[in-house]
Amino acid sequence: MTAEEPIFDIAHLAHVELLTPRLEESARFFVDVMGMTESGRRGDSVYLRGWDDYEHHSLKLTASEKPGLGHYAFRASSPQALQRRVEAVERSGLGLGWIDREAGHGPAYCFTDPDGHKIEIYYETVWYQPPEGMRPALKNQASRYPDRGIGLRRIDHINLLAADVRANRVFMQQTLGGRMTEQIIFDDGSEKGSWLTFTNKTYDVAISEDWTGSRGRLHHITYAVDSREEILRAADICLEHRVFMETGPSKHAIQQTFFLYVYEPGGNRFEIANAGARLMLAPDWKPIIWSEAERKKGQAWGLPTIASFHTHGTPPVE
């Protein structure tokens, strides 16, 4: 008997909606410091993208009383793939229905994961069309490489907080076809974190335990740059802009990502990352399991895991 085939219906993480109590400051941060491009505004929302994000936007900022996650979205691999995933979600009982008035893409099916994070999935999209001053010198990139700020290339992943990591992780696997690549299992058997991929990246979604037991919260979102050097430069730019740097630049043991974590003006944690040439190519990868003792060793080069990593999430818990 052969095993079930992997599911390739999710093409990639498409965008994230961040809620911010300081919309204009957040927008300025992502444009001036992070070097993103504003590709539109609608109501209380500002749409942004990295210089090589091919869609209309990969980040939506929406004014809100508190910071946190509005929703995040996947693009499906094909119309048929979208249909299959919608059916699977509907079977799970977590479906919310279709919306079709969102900027930047076609009809999207809305649902939640068991922890309550709102997710959308769609296929039809709007490719970014760079205006005159934004056209790249090389036509195989989405827009001009910016000469200002840090210059985020593209959206990379989202890290959710969840009261029940395992339940959320199994949902992502069974309903969406996520493949687990690494996880943290403590001595008591509890699952403290799981990393899932839908692509050849080693993770697109991470789920960390919410120590407060709250639901639907966000740990951070992450954009990719081309090199570790760009992250060191990012730290220098954040330093000049007095951006709060929570930890890094350094290298994670889990997934080995080179990272820098900062807080954007709205209070959400934001990561700039580089994975080098690391990819998940094996179709039958056995998940790496990190023990409690191994986690206590901190990051790859011995940097202690910062305490606020376990306490700060958005929205804040009161």
Interaction with a second copy in 58-97: which residues (CB under 8 A)?
75-81
Task: Give min distance, CB of 276 to a second copy, in A.
Answer: 3
- Sheet containing strand 118-122, edge to edge, reads 37-42, 45-49, 59-63, 10-20, 68-76, 118-122, 108-112, 95-99
Residue with tokens 């992780």: 169
- Which of 63, 288 has the CB closer to a second copy? 288
Among 5, 65, 188, 318, binds a second copy (CB under 8 A): 5
Long-range contacts of residues 207-210, Cβ cutoff 8 Å, at least 24 apart: 207/159, 207/160, 207/161, 207/162, 207/165, 207/168, 207/169, 207/172, 208/159, 208/160, 208/161, 208/162, 208/165, 209/161, 209/162, 209/163, 209/165, 210/161, 210/162, 210/163, 210/313
Residues 194 and 165 sit within 8 Å (Cβ to Cβ): yes
Q: How far is CA 132 from the centre of its chain?
A: 30
Task: Give min distance, CB of 156 to a second copy, in A.
Answer: 8
- Residues from 250 through 309 that contact a second copy (CB under 8 A): 250-251, 253-256, 258, 274-279, 281-283, 288, 300-303
Question: Near a second copy by CB under 8 A, which window of 21-29, 88-96, 214-222, 248-256?
Answer: 248-256
Look up residue 264 and give its two tokens.
Answer: 């954007």
- Which of 103, 134 has the CB closer to a second copy? 134
Among 63, 94, 235, 317, binds a second copy (CB under 8 A): 235
**Residue window 37-56: x/- pattern of binding to a second copy, with contact defined by CB under 8 A:** ---------------x-x--
Question: Near a second copy by CB under 8 A, which window of 60-68, 185-193, 210-218, 222-230?
Answer: 222-230
Q: Using the rule CB under 8 A, is 225 a contact of a second copy?
A: yes
Task: Give min distance, CB of 183 to a second copy, in A.
Answer: 11
Q: Which residues have a Cβ under 8 Å from the Cβ of 121 and sit 6 or more positions away? A: 10, 73, 74, 75, 76, 82, 85, 86, 89, 108, 109, 111
**How many Cα atoms within 13 Å fall on the side-chain side of residue 255?**
25
Residues 259 and 216 sit within 8 Å (Cβ to Cβ): no
Q: Using the rule CB under 8 A, is 249 a contact of a second copy?
A: yes
Length of the chain: 318
**Residue window 11-40: x/- pattern of binding to a second copy, with contact defined by CB under 8 A:** xx-------------------xx-------
- Which of 119, 238 has the CB closer to a second copy? 238
Q: Using the rule CB under 8 A, is 248 a contact of a second copy?
A: yes
- Residues from 120 through 159 that contact a second copy (CB under 8 A): 136-141, 144-145, 147-150, 153-154, 156
Question: Near a second copy by CB under 8 A, which window of 3-11, 39-47, 168-176, 307-315?
Answer: 3-11
Q: Using the rule CB under 8 A, is 236 a contact of a second copy?
A: yes
Q: How far is CA 130 from the centre of its chain?
A: 24
- Residues from 167 through 196 that contact a second copy (CB under 8 A): 182
Secondary structure element (H or E) that encloses residue 89, with its range: helix 79-92
Task: Give min distance, CB of 302 to a second copy, in A.
Answer: 5
**Greatest Cα pair distance in the chain:** 60
CA distance 256 to 265: 27
Among 22, 28, 118, 228, binds a second copy (CB under 8 A): 228
Task: Give min distance, CB of 64 to a second copy, in A.
Answer: 28
Residue with tokens 């990719």: 224
- Residues from 195 through 214 that contact a second copy (CB under 8 A): 199-201
